[in-house]
Amino acid sequence: FPAKLSEACRHEIDHCNKCLTQHIKSTLDGHLASNEAVTNDIRCPSKGCGRRLLTDEINLYADAATAGKYTRQVHLESLQNAPNFRWCMRDGCPNGDVYSLTSTMITCTECRFKMCFRHEMEWHEGYTCDQYDKSGADT
């Protein structure tokens, strides 16, 4: 049973390491699939507890691939309030990146989806940003 959790949770641990590993993976995958924030939202699976697991606990009990995804997502979420950060707008893509504030068309580094930095939408093919504004296409 996970000894590390027993130090922080005030209840008897009622799940094994393998179950905790699977819980962390499925919770993270669920958050990523629904584009929900994961930072500080993977919780102890014991009934009635709900304590948020600490990053070191997640890294200790998650498999290597899940721990890597979690670390990457926490990093992206820490950047999301920067004025030059954009999440990929393609459904199902969990990627985000920091772009130049002078960018117009930006491309997701993971799925290659093209977006407009200024309008925060799919790239308006055939129009510059100024032409798009004048076209009234967004109304």
pLDDT, tens digit (0-9, with 9 covering 90-100), for 110-119: 999 999 999 9
63, 28: one domain:
yes
Element (H, E) at 9: none
Mean pLDDT, the chain, rounded, equals 88
DSSP E strands, the chain: 85-87, 96-98, 105-107, 114-116, 121-122
87, 64: one domain:
no
50, 91: one domain:
no
2, 26: one domain:
yes
51, 108: one domain:
no
- Domain span including residue 116: 82-139
Q: How many domains does the chain have?
A: 2
123, 137: one domain:
yes
Token look-up 């993971």 returns 110
Indicate if the pLDDT at residue 91 is higher than 60: yes
Residue 112: DSSP 8-state:
-
Residues 6+ apart with CB under 8 A from 44: 5, 9, 50, 51, 52, 53
12, 39: one domain:
yes
d(CA 82, CA 4): 34
CATH of the domain at 27: 3.30.40
pLDDT mean over 1-6: 69
